Homo-oligomer: A and B are copies of this chain.
Amino acid sequence: MTEENLRSLIRQIVTECADTNADPNAIPIGISNHHIHLSQADFDQLFPGQQMEKFKQLKQPGEFASKQTCDIIGPKGTIKHVRVLGPCRSHSQVEIANSETFTLGVPAPIRLSGHLDGTPSVKLRTKDGEVTVQGVIVAKRHIHMSLEDAKRFGVKLGDTMMVEINSDGRHTIYDDVIARPRKDFTLEMHLDTDEASAANVKPTTVAHIIPRVQSTF
């Protein structure tokens, strides 16, 4: 890493920390590009004889982008070189942006991770193998948080929260962001690439929780 890159990274982290510390309602934003989770069996089919290799650590503990990529093939088109995230899960799952449902020709519903009942299928292909995976979704926006964060925000798993992003030229409010507290989670709101572009999210953009008005009567 060059000194310039290091300075830029430190400046970004300091900005994030300052924003989060100064405002207890601030939430860091993570932008999820299209990606694939694989079961061990599907991984072995697509990458015979390989081990999943870490390419980049993600913010949530234990989660990582792997070095492996594969193509998603729908009835109308293909998205090439889509990153496989690790570690392997019990079920394979493909997450795309809403705009990409047209690219692939697949009517993927907006769902939370793991809620795959009735979701459509696509083919995944590498130079060494091919599998058909049932479980294509557009991710429903959500906030990963620790149990302490959940207590602080007064929410429990599955509650919806109201969150705003006030960026250059776009002031957007989401009234349906799902709370996902877990002991080992780090505070981070996940948006997909359509949502990030629409809300003009930049690397230092932070979201804010809008506390719901509660009556005292």
**Chain A contacts to B: CB under 8 angstroms:** 97-99, 109-111, 138, 140-141, 164, 168-176, 192-195, 197-200
Contacts and interface: CB of A to CB of B under 8 A. Distances in A.
**Which of A110, A164, A170 is most buried by chain B, counting CB atoms within 10 A of its CB?**
A170
Contacts of A140: 169
A110 B200 contact: yes
A141 B169 CA distance: 9
Contacts of A172: 172-175
Q: How many subunits of this chain does the assembly comprise?
A: 2
A140 B176 CA distance: 24
Given A99-B193, A99-B194, 6 more contacts: A98-B197, A140-B169, A170-B174, A173-B173, A194-B198, A195-B198
A168 B141 CA distance: 13
16 contacts: A98-B197, A98-B198, A98-B200, A99-B193, A99-B194, A99-B197, A109-B169, A110-B200, A138-B169, A140-B169, A171-B174, A172-B172, A172-B173, A172-B174, A173-B175, A197-B198
